[in-house]
Amino acid sequence: MITFAEIHIKLMHHDQRLPSSTPEAQGIPSSAILAFLDAVAREGVGLHSMMLVRHGHVVAAGWWAPYAPELPHMLFSLSKSFTSTAIGLAVSEGLLTVDDPVLRFFPEDAPPVVSEHLAAMRVRHLLSMSTGHAVDATSATTTAPDGNWVKAFLAQPVVYEPGTHFVYNSAATYMLSAIIQRLTGETVLAYLGPRLLAPLGIEGATWQSCPRGINVGGWGLSIRTADIACFGQLYLQQGVWQGRQLLPAAWVTEATAQHISNGADPHSDWAQGYGYQFWRCRHHAYRGDGAFGQFCLVMPEQDAVLAMTAGEQDMQRMLNLVWTHLLPAMQPAPLADEPRAVTALHTRLDGLALSPVVGEATSPRAAEIAARRYAFRANQQQLSVIMLTFGDAGGAVTLADRFGEHRIAFGLGEWRIGATAFDFGALIPVAASGAWTTPDTFTLQLVFYTTPFTPRISLHFDGDRLMYQFVANAAFGRRTRPRLAGRVTR
């Protein structure tokens, strides 16, 4: 049986910025965390990592391999909460106020005719997603032909009086990032570096930028799970980190309070009000979140923080599992030790992994199709060629798309680690496994393990024809792409 000392060492290996503890010592039964993990597995939730902090102590942390504690994860809109924090820091430094007009910062990019509503738009309206736009301005902003996203944003119609109408609007967050850069001459990432990231021990953060070199603000930040947990703990502690006031407590209170209503559904965590780039939640909690399950969930009444990364289409069911299994299990006082449950929990956390493709290592088809090149007619996916090769313990798939030709090595019944630009255009890490799931179908699983994306590719062979099917685990549009038919070229 694992001793408490060994458990402490295991937790410390995850991260040393927050002290570790058994769940029971912080008032949570290990069995409740196991029940949460059981529900995640049972319901097929695409969780990639989780770190639960109670009373300032890490009580559970796990990564579904090939996801790992030292790796960053793409945050999508959880980035917004960091941009909001930059504004709070700039306010505390006297660089601006939340009541400053947005046009004050970009007079040269104002439209020829400034509407009354645009003139009335303030920084606080960018923060609270109440700019007055009738629709999200992000698409119109980011497709500006000249790359001037600020000018494109200011050109969009402001239909409502600012402060009266909620529209989730990532372009508004971009404008906050642009304001920081206009005031400081630094990107949001550089500005946050000495003020927030370095004090919290956040290293290696990256942030996507627009064509003019401004961090996009509303998305594009990549950091580690433990970094998310430390950020949430900073907010839970009213801006204090290791005895130092990094962020004014008044800003924490203001940023996480409701500033505008965003619905009335008592069962939805997307209808509990919106703050300054933070969502209000049920159970008097609040959060930063990003598409496909990137969460920094702060529960003040329970003195707890939960950081999660995922590739999950239904984010509400992730929160439902938290409210069902974790939140009600948090007790006000330490609990009696549960050595068997503690051991079971840490065995489970240590063994978390995404399953490689289940199937056969070979097929009568394998020798026939190996090294054949299958070509596709012009298609919207811009896939032109596929070829499979096999070895003793794995193989490789070669795919040609609009970004070039890519070779991805895969394991048979196991993961093979590499990197590819397939489907992304930029070289990123990938783990791949494959198997014959029928005698005529080879299935390939890809895990882009610094992102939420774990697509599955099905290759069905019929004579000299190949049917290709790409199914995403999570996507903004259709998860299943149209099936493509290819033929042997040699």
pLDDT tens digits for range 253-268: 999 999 999 999 999 9
d(CA 295, CA 84): 16
Helices 170-184 and 79-92 pack at an angle, to 10 degrees, of: 40
Residue 366 one-letter amino acid = A
Q: What is the pLDDT of residue 160?
A: 98
- Structure-token match 């000392």, residue found: 5
Does 399 score more than 60 pLDDT? yes
Q: How much is the average pLDDT of 394-404?
A: 96
Residue 381 one-letter amino acid = Q
CA distances from 477 to 358, 450, 472, 481 (A): 27, 21, 10, 9
> For residue 246, is it within any domain?
yes
The model's confidence at residue 476, banded by pLDDT at 50, 70 and 90, is: very high
Does 8 score more than 80 pLDDT? no
pLDDT tens digits for range 99-144: 999 999 999 999 999 999 999 999 999 999 999 999 999 999 999 9
The model's confidence at residue 207, banded by pLDDT at 50, 70 and 90, is: very high
For the chain, the average pLDDT equals 96
Q: Which two tokens stand for residue 437?
A: 């799931």
> For residue 57, is it within any domain?
no
161 and 307 inside one domain? yes
Q: Of the candidates 459, 468, 462, which has an alpha carbon nearest to the alpha carbon of residue 379?
A: 468
The model's confidence at residue 482, banded by pLDDT at 50, 70 and 90, is: very high
284 and 195 inside one domain? yes
Q: Can you spell out the DSSP letters for 410-442?
A: EEESS-EEEEE-TTTSS-EEEEEEEEEEETTEE
> For residue 32, is it within any domain?
no
CA distances from 178 to 80, 104, 184 (A): 13, 12, 10
Last residue of a domain, one of 297, 326, 355: 326
> For residue 38, is it within any domain?
no
Q: Which two tokens stand for residue 177?
A: 């990032």
Q: How much is the average pLDDT of 470-477?
A: 96
The model's confidence at residue 393, banded by pLDDT at 50, 70 and 90, is: confident
Q: What is the pLDDT of residue 490?
A: 67
Percent of all residues in the chain with a pLDDT value above 70, rounded to a whole number: 97
- For residue 258, the domain's CATH number is 3.40.710.10
Task: Please count the structural domains in the chain.
Answer: 2
Q: What is the pLDDT of residue 12?
A: 41
113 and 196 inside one domain? yes
Residue 471 one-letter amino acid = V
Q: How much is the average pLDDT of 399-403?
A: 96
Q: How much is the average pLDDT of 281-303?
A: 98
199 and 261 inside one domain? yes
277 and 385 inside one domain? no
The model's confidence at residue 49, banded by pLDDT at 50, 70 and 90, is: very high
The model's confidence at residue 6, banded by pLDDT at 50, 70 and 90, is: very low
Q: Do strands 428-438 and 404-412 pair parallel, antiparallel, or not at all (unpaired)?
A: parallel
313 and 440 inside one domain? no
User: Which residues span the domain enclosing 453?
Assistant: 364-488
The model's confidence at residue 14, banded by pLDDT at 50, 70 and 90, is: low
pLDDT tens digits for range 208-227: 999 999 999 999 999 999 99
> For residue 475, is it within any domain?
yes
Q: How much is the average pLDDT of 236-246?
A: 98
- Structure-token match 């005698």, residue found: 439
d(CA 229, CA 123): 27
Q: How much is the average pLDDT of 358-382?
A: 95
118 and 225 inside one domain? yes
139 and 93 inside one domain? yes
Q: Three-state secondary structure along 364-376?
A: HHHHHHCCCEEEE
> For residue 399, is it within any domain?
yes
The model's confidence at residue 16, banded by pLDDT at 50, 70 and 90, is: confident
pLDDT tens digits for range 427-467: 999 999 999 999 999 999 999 999 999 999 999 999 999 99
284 and 221 inside one domain? yes
- For residue 468, the domain's CATH number is 2.40.128.20
d(CA 154, CA 445): 43
301 and 403 inside one domain? no
pLDDT tens digits for range 300-337: 999 999 999 999 999 999 999 999 999 999 999 999 99
Backbone angles phi and psi of 62, in degrees to 5? -155, 150
369 and 316 inside one domain? no
Q: What is the DSSP-derived secondary structure letter of residue 215? A: B
Q: What is the pLDDT of residue 247?
A: 98
Last residue of a domain, one of 307, 326, 345: 326
Does 4 score more than 60 pLDDT? no
221 and 310 inside one domain? yes
How many other CB atoms are found less than 10 A from the CB of residue 359? 18
> For residue 54, is it within any domain?
no
The model's confidence at residue 392, banded by pLDDT at 50, 70 and 90, is: confident
Task: Point out the least confidently predicted range of 8-17, 276-285, 387-396.
Answer: 8-17
Q: What is residue 76's three-state secondary structure?
A: helix
> For residue 338, is it within any domain?
no
Q: What is the pLDDT of residue 189?
A: 98
CA 326 vs. chain centroid, Å, equals 21
Last residue of a domain, one of 326, 354, 376: 326
Q: How much is the average pLDDT of 184-208?
A: 98
Q: Which two tokens stand for residue 7?
A: 């458990």
Percent of all residues in the chain with a pLDDT value above 90, rounded to a whole number: 95
